[in-house]
Amino acid sequence: NYDQLDFSDPNQIGDIVICFVDENENGAYDRGEWIAHSATVSAVDDEGFTTVVTGKRGIMDNR
């Protein structure tokens, strides 16, 4: 099970982020849509924006 955050919700360390194909263009992930990549949030800033994620492809630092 999962709880999908709204775009305005702050991220937390441990959250899972996904890059997916929004086939029905509703702005949210729907079961069955293709997931291109996923990663775990490793760091956030004071406002809850993700700054570092860790995924299978390695570490991506977005600072």
**Domain range summary for the chain, segments of one domain joined by +:** 16-58
Residue 22 confidence (pLDDT): 93
pLDDT at 2 > cutoff 80: no
Residue 62 confidence (pLDDT): 56
d(CA 9, CA 37) in angstroms, rounded, equals 21
Report the 10 Å Cβ neighbour count for 41: 18
d(CA 61, CA 45) in angstroms, rounded, equals 12
Is the full-model pTM beyond 0.85? no
pLDDT digits (tens, 9 = 90+) for 5-62: 887 899 999 999 888 899 999 988 899 998 888 899 999 999 999 999 998 765 555 5
d(CA 4, CA 2) in angstroms, rounded, equals 6
